[in-house]
């Protein structure tokens, strides 16, 4: 009877040990952040892809002590419509959080802000349905299409962020502005941009990440919350 009792206790103990080990393994898994965007996210034009936005951001976060994987869901040339079309499969089962940086190509094509806003709305709905925290990154419209277009485009990010309770980064290029560059002044941007004047070079990417990094840290703090 003693031996049988001991065996039962051992089985319970071993079962608890396995449970604890499994729980520990789950707890040690890195946080997976999906970065949904266009060429700015994808790292377009860089000879060394390790110098692109996603790998540099992941490295920045790891240097800050975060156990994180940032997945590159950037597609060069993508609009908000393209992002909406692929959000369902871009968010895999391991996704814990989402960064959305879309709208730049909508600007280049002069797409109606009403349509862009509707597309972003659909993306955020999908994230909410999956209970994922989101960082929405704003793009700033130039004055090419007039003040009404600019006002409508610029304000849509804040309106959507408020409606869905997301985090909001005011400007993708905020890190460059902090370094004294002005996207409206090509000369001030030149040393941070590739020859096309649209995409950051490695130095520009570093500054952009430094500007957005704290917001991404805030996003990580919301995972599992």
Which residues are the active-site residues?
A: 39, 196, 199
CA neighbours closer than 13 Å in the CB half-sphere of residue 77: 0
Q: In this structure, are residues 161 and 207 in contact, taking their beta carbons and an 8 Å threshold?
A: no
- Local structure of residue 29 (DSSP, 8 states): S
Distances (CA, A) of 53 to 49, 112, 117, 199: 9, 27, 24, 11
Rounded CA gap, 101 and 82, in Å?
A: 12
Taking Cα atoms as reference points, which of 98, 51, 44 lies closest to residue 70? 98
* E strands present in the chain: 31-37, 68-74, 97-101, 134-137, 167-169
- Local structure of residue 223 (DSSP, 8 states): T
Q: Which residues contact 179 (CB under 8 A, 6 or more apart)?
A: 192, 207
């Amino acid at each position: 009877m003693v031996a049988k009792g001991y065996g039962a206790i051992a089985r319970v103990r071993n079962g608890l040990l396995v449970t604890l080990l499994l729980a520990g393994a789950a707890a040690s898994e890195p946080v997976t952040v999906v970065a949904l965007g266009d060429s700015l996210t994808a790292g377009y034009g860089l000879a060394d892809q390790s110098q692109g936005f996603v790998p540099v951001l992941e490295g920045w976060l790891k240097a800050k002590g975060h156990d994180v994987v940032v997945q590159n869901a950037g597609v060069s040339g993508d609009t908000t419509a393209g992002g909406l079309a692929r959000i369902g499969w871009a968010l895999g089962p391991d996704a814990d959080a989402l960064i959305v940086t879309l709208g730049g190509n909508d600007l280049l094509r002069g797409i109606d802000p009403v349509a862009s806003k509707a597309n972003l709305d659909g993306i955020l709905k999908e994230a909410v349905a999956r209970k994922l925290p989101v960082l929405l990154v704003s793009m700033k419209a130039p004055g090419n299409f007039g003040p009404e277009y600019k006002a409508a485009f610029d304000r849509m990010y804040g309106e959507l962020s408020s409606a869905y309770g997301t985090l909001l980064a005011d400007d993708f290029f905020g890190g460059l502005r902090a370094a004294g560059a002005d996207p409206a002044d090509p000369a001030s941007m030149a040393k941070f941009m590739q020859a096309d004047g649209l995409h950051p070079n490695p130095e520009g990417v570093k500054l952009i990440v430094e500007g957005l990094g704290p917001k991404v840290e805030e996003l990580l703090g919301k995972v599992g919350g």
